[in-house]
Chain A
């Protein structure tokens, strides 16, 4: 028995998509289960770990804390919209170059958070980076190499846009 709701239209990674999820569905489930975009992860469901972070109109947002109905008419960007295996975003390339992960479950959310930060401030200092990542949890302890990866990008000459 499918949910008897009319489809919701949302814009994901620049494309308008129609999904079956009811408007009250947390965005993270619609991304993962309706759209097959699995970079955003369920971590806590309470906006306290950052694993589900995406961009909402260019700002970092927890996809577990916003509903499908709330994002109608807004631009949602996921990690998949930032870059792909064949066309890596500079942050993805830097994380790869620095081997900045262990299990990797937290990394998409961290990259999305940093990408949003760099859009506002392309050369944040160490404190600004750490503060921006305060709500991003990593249990494996890959923090040091994550910070090194980010510095590869922030220490580089100014790029036009990170998004």
Chain B
């Protein structure tokens, strides 16, 4: 099994999403190639998809190769996001592989003049079921491409390789561990130059940062500088060498127009509450207002979440080779087709002249700078007529990547005299979480800057209501969304979209209720969850964590334990998480010492792959819970370094214990992000257990915890 090398020839591959041949190809040596529109984001999905195909075809995993995200070779399967690849593309490839296997059996049966039902495929070889000795390697049946269409329902496959459900090692790791060219950052083309772009260290929704004047004398005087490129407010430099491009960008003297001052981040949530909004009601069951009126007691709480950064380790990068009538672009975008449609008008070139080739970036947790840097590289390459590689600098990435949006959530609940929860109201203020380029060049930073600018994008409000509804048996429940058309910095998708925020509010508020009625948080959840799979993860996490047992705390430290539950998007993977924390009461410093997760994502394709994702969700989730907040002054973002935007470090990583619940007969559900959702609430609830204070402002920084404890 290997990752396929780049193919430069314009293939005549079928790209329609109904044909088996669009996704699967068989070579005469028995190699099976998967053509996947979904791409590897560092989560191991190339391996998991290979397992599914190997399993259904009956071939060894080593004979699978996979090509991902190439507009000349792979069908358009939309954006790789939302923990949907295994969930959506997995079953599609499974059905394609089942159909391909049937076709191979028919070809073999015709040749052997037997009934195809008497044949099977094991280890890439067609054999009779009755054990007779003759055999045909499937490579001998590869003369013609697969001719079938992918069935809507294929029924159960024969699954003769048994490779699904095992921890097959990842296909991409050897190269990454040995300095192979595994990333878009490593792409080299003949005659390639290096570019950098220059913008103010801020990224607003309207592309502010207008250029008044540019003095490029010093930059152009540096030996090795090829060009200073300006198109409207888009400004870049191109040089023979990377370090020269960096120096030239620093040497460019730019006078920027005065932009209106940015509103203070400290006033952000108050402004959100006052803003004009577009209101929707994604859920209203029963009559919440009537239940609130009639209840004997109501509780309320407000939760605030900051803007956060994807903060990939390697700043975004792309390589573009733009000629007169065709362009090739290497990119780590999550959607090669959507980005191509956005770049075409920017380039003034038809889409069919543009080939997008996916290469991995440095981790992907949502809509980061990958799309924008591709537009930067395209414009610079077009300007100089040679291939150009652009990698943003660390500060560029922190400044320009779209941000995970800030959110404000009001919770209220009504209790009856028996302390049952009668009504549950969840009210969220948020900008949209979805602003991917998707055919709209006005979503790209460069698209906003060129002269004339690309048309303003049609904004779609979405993602902020993810996991705002609960799966608890509340007789009356309502979710009210106040969508903000604007935000100080441009928002877009960050892992879970609103799922982390809404789960935090729901699960911390439920613990506030539990505390106020004197009920155990685990018992309350088990009582309110009608779904047995939900109850099972809650029980499993509680049991593994030793719920109800004491936590060792060093002298002077406060210890606490908290639980939270989520069912991702109310219909996918189930996760329960228990956090143990230690708190230094003098400093307010919170440390997560042990995290236990119980995780049910249906049929598990690769157990170690799932564990890897859950571990990552937990660690990144702790980081987002305790540390991360994008800050700015009236002019620009001030969190442009790892010192000012710290993330969790090795000494701070807790013990992690994961219970995987496999459901071999259930559909597979994505595991890329569900386990992020309950992390903050589990920690917040543990802080309350330790200190008696409810932390309602994320992140739970030492200063905030200390102040909350002092106020108490």
Contact = CB atoms under 8 A, between A and B. Distances in A.
Interface of A: 1-4, 21, 25-26, 29, 32-33, 36-39, 41-46, 48-49, 51, 78-80, 83-85, 88, 92, 95-96, 99, 101-108, 111, 127, 129-131, 133-147
16 contacts: A39-B179, A41-B185, A42-B185, A79-B178, A85-B180, A96-B174, A103-B363, A105-B363, A134-B649, A134-B651, A135-B649, A137-B313, A140-B42, A141-B616, A141-B619, A143-B615
Nearest to A136: B650
A48 B313 CA distance: 11
Contact of A96 (B173, B242, B641, B653): B173
A142 B653 CA distance: 10
Contacts of A21: 241, 243
B185 A147 contact: no
A88 B642 CA distance: 32
A49 B313 contact: yes
Given A41-B313, A139-B313, A104 B177 contact: yes
Interface string B602-633: 00000010001101111110010000000000
Contact of B647 (A78, A96, A139): A139
A29 B194 CA distance: 11
Contact of A33 (B173, B183, B241, B365): B241
Nearest to B314: A105
A79 B179 contact: yes
A139 B311 contact: yes
A138 B176 CA distance: 14
A102 B180 contact: no
Contacts of A96: 169, 173-174, 177
Given A3-B240, A96-B169, A133-B650, A140 B363 contact: yes
Given A48-B641, A139-B365, A144 B173 contact: no
B604 to A, nearest CB: 15
B394 interface: yes
Contacts of B169: 96, 99
A1 B623 CA distance: 46
A41 to B, nearest CB: 6
Interface centre among B620, B641, B651 (most CB of A within 10 A): B651
Contacts of B653: 130, 143-144, 147
A-B complex: 6 closest residue pairs judged by Cβ atoms: A141-B619, A39-B179, A103-B42, A104-B176, A141-B616, A103-B363
A4 B641 contact: no
B616 to A, nearest CB: 4
Contact of A2 (B182, B224, B312, B620): B224
Nearest to A98: B608
B612 A145 contact: yes
B362 A105 contact: yes
B296 to A, nearest CB: 44
A96 B167 CA distance: 13
Interface in B334-376: 360-365
A63 to B, nearest CB: 12
A88 B315 CA distance: 28
Interface centre among B172, B617, B649 (most CB of A within 10 A): B649
B656 interface: yes
Interface centre among B361, B619, B643 (most CB of A within 10 A): B619
A144 B614 CA distance: 11
Given A49-B313, A80-B178, A142-B616, A104 B172 contact: yes
Contacts of A102: 42-44, 363, 612-613, 616
B615 A4 contact: no
A1 B240 contact: yes
A33 B650 contact: no
Interface in B166-200: 167, 169-170, 172-183, 185-186, 188, 194
A104 B363 CA distance: 8
Interface string B640-663: 011100011111010010000000
B100 interface: no
B513 interface: no
Nearest to A142: B616
B461 interface: no
Given A103-B360, A134-B649, 6 more contacts: A25-B241, A38-B181, A49-B394, A92-B177, A96-B173, A141-B620
Dominant secondary structure of chain A at its interface with chain B: loop
B177 A111 contact: yes
A18 to B, nearest CB: 16
Contacts of A48: 641-643
Contact of B242 (A29, A105, A139, A142): A29
A49 B647 CA distance: 10
Contact of A45 (B175, B226, B363, B394): B394
Contacts of B173: 95-96, 99, 101, 104
Contacts of A49: 313, 394, 642
Contact of B361 (A29, A88, A103): A103
Nearest to A3: B224
Contact of B649 (A99, A137, A144): A137
Given A45-B393, A133-B650, A143-B619, A85 B42 contact: no
Contacts of A88: 177-178
Contact of B178 (A4, A42, A92, A145): A92
A143 to B, nearest CB: 4
B612 A51 contact: no
B208 interface: no
A38 B240 contact: no
Contacts of B42: 102-104, 140
Nearest to A91: B177
Interface string B232-243: 000000001111
Contacts of B178: 39, 79-80, 83-85, 88, 92
Nearest to A108: B179
A19 B648 CA distance: 38
A111 B364 CA distance: 22
B391 interface: yes
B177 A107 contact: yes
Given A25-B243, A45-B393, A48-B642, A38 B226 contact: no
A74 to B, nearest CB: 20
Given A21-B241, A48-B641, A137-B649, A85 B615 contact: no
B554 interface: no
Contacts of B643: 48
Nearest to B311: A139
Contacts of B185: 38, 41-42
A85 B181 contact: no
A95 B178 CA distance: 11
A84 to B, nearest CB: 6
Contact of A41 (B177, B314, B642): B314
A88 to B, nearest CB: 7
Contact of B394 (A1, A37, A39, A46): A46
A132 to B, nearest CB: 8
Contacts of B180: 38, 85
A101 B394 contact: no
A139 B363 contact: yes
A75 to B, nearest CB: 18
Nearest to B364: A103
B244 interface: yes
A95 B177 contact: yes
B223 interface: yes
B341 to A, nearest CB: 26
Contacts of B608: 99
A108 B183 CA distance: 13
B390 to A, nearest CB: 12
B314 A43 contact: yes
Contact of A139 (B41, B167, B620, B651): B620
Contacts of B224: 1-3
Contacts of A41: 183, 185, 313-314, 362
